[in-house]
Structure 1
Amino acid sequence: MGALFTGGTSARRLVRTVVLQARKRLSTYGSQILLAIIGAAVAWTIAGGLIQDHRPFFAPIAALIALNASGGERGSNAVRLLAGVFIGILAGEFALLVTDRGVVSLTLGTGLAMIVAAMVTSERVVVGQSAASAILTTIFVGGGSPGVDRLVDALIGAGVALLLSQLLFPARLVAMMRRIEEEALGEMARMLDEVGLSLTSDGDDASAQVVNRLGDLSRPMAELSKAREASMSTIRLSTIRWGDPGPVIDEDEVIERLILLGESCLFLARTTVAMDSEERRELAPIVRGMADVLGTLADDLSSREAREQAVNQALTAARGYGAGTPDDDPVTHATHLAVEMVATDIMVFAGIRFEEVEDVLFGELEDPTIPAPAQEPWLPWLRWRPRLPDIRIGRFRERG
């Protein structure tokens, strides 16, 4: 009976976790889905009103796919999509011109579209969209619907996507960047937690496990760099530049700090490989403690309370390991330095000024200022944004 109860509890916890993740994903992508639906409907309406006696299916498809990109890439995605659609339509029209409708025209048009797209660009979205457009052209083309109509449809769909994504509803970049930061922090936390578990094992297998996990951060670190590039491009090309780009620029600096934090985590994980078994077991709770800190930050980057809690936890872990002694061997000295680096980068990422970090780490400053995360405008082209009460939710204090 106890086993059944435990199993039921585990099942309920699993279901609750899945539901919460689904809600979070829907909350994250809900506005993007709504904007894509609106764009498709608008593109269909405009194309149907301008060109009579045809079904303008290319217009909503172009708008939908262009708006389905991540926030910072909608504009460039619309341009790539338009290139693919043009290539596909032209290849499909050529196939219909030289062959009868059917599998022959579909094969010829699709192959020609993909070859031309691959010669023009290495972007896979262009190659894929050119093939899809060629297939649609060869299958659904009507005798009274010339190819120029489909080109106009594609232009309308891409134009609607650009209007919505760049002028009326540009991406909420701060929210987008924080989602990427949370994913990167979560990956860092998982890596350090697994490294900490590996430190409790003996033998060469433990070292091999640590080395294997060092590559876990490659994807989130690449996503962070990509987010920085996309944010600067969006500021230049969208109506965000008409408002206040300050929060986006500030968040760009936060990503830079997060990249440094990721490098510190890698350094900490790397130094553990050269330690003996006894030192590894001593370091294991420290590494897992740092993982808990990163998990706290990943839970809610928009909360100052979470940042204060993370700083407290980082200090507890770093002070618990100590600063080392002059008699330490080079590996042990490097490990103490790595722990301090991770704690330092966590505090800087949380918002503590760099010149105050050393005083905080060694207990000379007990109440540093941790600013509230910046709020982003609800409408990105406006300077107005919601003002939240500037109240300290928790008081920074030394723990442990």
Structure 2
Amino acid sequence: MEASLDRMWSRSRLSLRGRIQRWKSKRWVVLQCAVAAAVAWFVAADLIGHERPFFAPIAAVVSLGTSYGQRLRRVAEVTIGVAIGVFVADVLVAGIGSGAWQLGLIVFLAMSTALLLDAGILFVTQAAVQSIVVAALLPGAGGAFLRWTDALIGGSVALVAAMAVPAAPLRRPREQAAAVARKIAELLRAASDLMVDGEVTPALELLADARATDRMIRELQAAAEEGMSVVSSSPFRLRHREPLRRMVELVDPLDRALRSTRVLVRQTSIAAYRRRPVPPSYAVLAADLADAADAVAAELAADRLAVDAREAVLAVGAATGVVERSEVLTAEAILAQLRAIVADLLMVTGMGQLEATDALPPPPRS
């Protein structure tokens, strides 16, 4: 009972820590949305004189969203979606009135019109929502124009706000890339220990850990897309475009390196489970490759291409050509996978695929 309570308490603390971290990572966006909503209301109500410009702050918040990606597209989708919804609803309400079946027909036609123009979810949703507002509230003359003007105000405020972005989205791709490289090093080092010890329980734990790394690549891809969206939408961040582009180009080779490492972990776990011997030199190779991966991670964390870490990776690659061979198929698969990881990490250091493959010496003869 006490053990169960301890586990529950530990999970709750981890959950709370994760929630706080999630809020911290989004606090700038939350503040930005709050300020944009207030400014949009102020412009529409106090400067232009709209009586209740409820859609101005709504448009601003929806356009900004909680991520930095595709903000310009969201602004366009909100503004044009509102225009379509208002137009379709006003025309039909004037002709057929309002009611349950009229509302259904209006929503159907508004969404269909939006879908014929663009398949964006936000675009179609805004057309539907605004058609409902018009059909249900029956605004008087000029109401449609005022609501569309409010959408323009909110979208314009969001557009200006989108240009002011912190440096965090620009740092996140390299930070996440470094985290992936460090994870590769961690898995390689654990695999090296496993080749020596051959214990089954640590093997299963390591395999589970390796299989849980898919999210790291998804986070890296999301960070890369968000970073490129920031430099595309903010004129104040254009100077970061080229360094960020180079970092984004590392997503695929890092993905391949991590996948290759997972395969290595699986082969090492199989060897431990089936009590297959692995040559000690393979464990040394894995440990040395882990050190090289750490060097790659350090370069990426410093916002540099990992060119300076290339020699360490090449040294491991050269060593794979002189180690002894094994008659055990699983051990041979481990050696082949180590060579694959070397090639993948060489690509992370800036080599092309063919160049990285050619840099490896021929495998040793059995």
- TM-score with structure 2 setting the length: 0.66
Pair 1:237–1:33, CA change in 2 (3 A): closer
Matched residue, 2:260: 264
Return the alpha-carbon distance in structure 2 between the equivalents of residues 164 and 22 of structure 1: 26
The more displaced of 177-186 and 79-88 is 177-186
- Letter of the 1:260 partner, please give it: R
The yes-or-no answer on 1:325 pairing with 2:321 is no
The reply on whether 1:255 has 2:232 as its aligned counterpart is: no
Write the letter of the residue equivalent to 2:144.
Answer: G
CA distance in 2, matches of 1:347, 1:14: 39
Greater Cα offset, 32-41 or 234-243: 234-243
Distance 1:185 1:113 in 2: 48
Which of 15, 19, 41 is equivalent to 2:16?
19
Post-superposition Cα deviations, 1:118-153, rounded to whole Å, max 9, x if no partner, equal 222222222222222222232334325421111111
Q: Pick from 170, 173, 176: which aligns with 1:177?
A: 173
- The one-character-per-residue Cα deviations of 1:288-312 (angstroms, maximum 9, x if unpaired) are x999x99xx99xx9699xx9xxxxx
Amino acid at match of 2:114: A
CA separation of 1:216 and 1:59: change in aligned 2, threshold 3 A: same
Does the aligned pair in 2 maintain the 1:200–1:281 contact within 8 Å?
no
Shift of 1:261: 2.2
CA–CA separation in structure 2 for the residues paired with 1:132 and 1:187? 45
1:235 pairs with one of 215, 231, 235: 231
1:13 positional shift: 1.6
Identity of aligned residues (%): 25
Please state whether the residue corresponding to 1:101 is helix, strand or coil. Answer: coil
Write the distance in 1 (CA, Å) between the matches of 2:185 and 2:98: 56
Secondary structure in 2 matching 1:71: coil
Q: 1:130 corresponds to which letter in structure 2?
A: A
Q: Which amino acid aligns with 1:177?
A: P
Larger displacement relative to structure 2 (181-190 or 126-135): 181-190
Q: Determine the C-alpha separation between the residues in 2 that align with 1:260 and 1:276.
A: 24
Letter in 2 for 1:9: D
Kindly report which structure 2 residues correspond to 1:112-151, keeping only aligned pairs within 5 A, or say none: 112-151=109-148
1:324 deviates by: 5.7
Residue 39 of structure 1 deviates from its aligned partner by 1.0
Across the two proteins, how many residue pairs are aligned to each other?
Answer: 320
Distance 1:103-1:346 versus aligned 2 partners, 3 A rule: same
Matched residues in 2 for 1:190 and 1:331: separation?
Answer: 21
Q: Which residue pairs with 1:385 in the alignment?
A: none
* 1:65 CA drift (Å): 0.8
Q: How far apart, CA to CA, are the structure 2 residues paired with 1:81 and 1:48?
A: 20
Matched with 2:336 is 337
One-letter amino acid matched to 1:173: P
Q: Is the 8 A contact 1:51 1:149 kept in 2?
A: no
Q: Tell me if structure 2 keeps the 8 A contact 1:323–1:336.
A: no
Is 2:51 aligned against 1:84? no
Pick closer, same or farther for the CA change 1:9–1:214 going to 2, 3 Å. Answer: closer
Is the counterpart of residue 61 in structure 1 residue 58 in structure 2? Answer: yes
Aligned partners of 1:136, 1:191: CA distance in 2, in Å? Answer: 55
Letter in 1 for 2:151: A
Given that residues 221 and 259 in structure 1 are in contact (C-alpha distance below 8 angstroms), is that contact kept between their aligned partners in structure 2? yes
Change (3 A) 1:271 1:8: closer
| Alpha-carbon contact 1:271-1:331 (below 8 Å) kept | yes
Per-residue deviation, 1:71: 1.3
TM-superposed CA distance for 1:214, in Å, is 7.2
Gaps of 5+ in 1: 308-313, 358-400
1:180-221 CA-partner distances (Å, limit 9, x unpaired): 65897899899999xx9xx959xxxx9xxx8xx97983x764
Q: Which residue of 2 is the match for residue 152 of structure 1?
A: 149
Is contact 1:265-1:342 (8 Å) kept? Answer: yes
8 Å CA contact 2:33, 2:65 repeated in 1: yes
RMSD across aligned C-alpha pairs, in angstroms? 4.9
Contact map agreement 1:67 1:74 (CA 8 A) in 2: yes
SS at the partner of 2:69? helix
The answer to whether the 8 Å contact 1:272/1:280 transfers is no
Equivalent residues of 1:72, 1:227 under 8 A apart: no
Aligned CA distance change for structure 1 residues 221 and 302 (closer, same or farther; 3 Å): closer
Higher helix proportion (structure 1 or 2): 2
Q: 1:170, 1:26 → 2: CA distance?
A: 15
Deviations 1:265-293 (A, max 9, x none): 3543675798795257979xx8xx999x9
What amino acid is aligned across from residue 333 of structure 2 in structure 1? A
Q: 1:343 to 1:24 in 2, by over 3 A?
A: farther
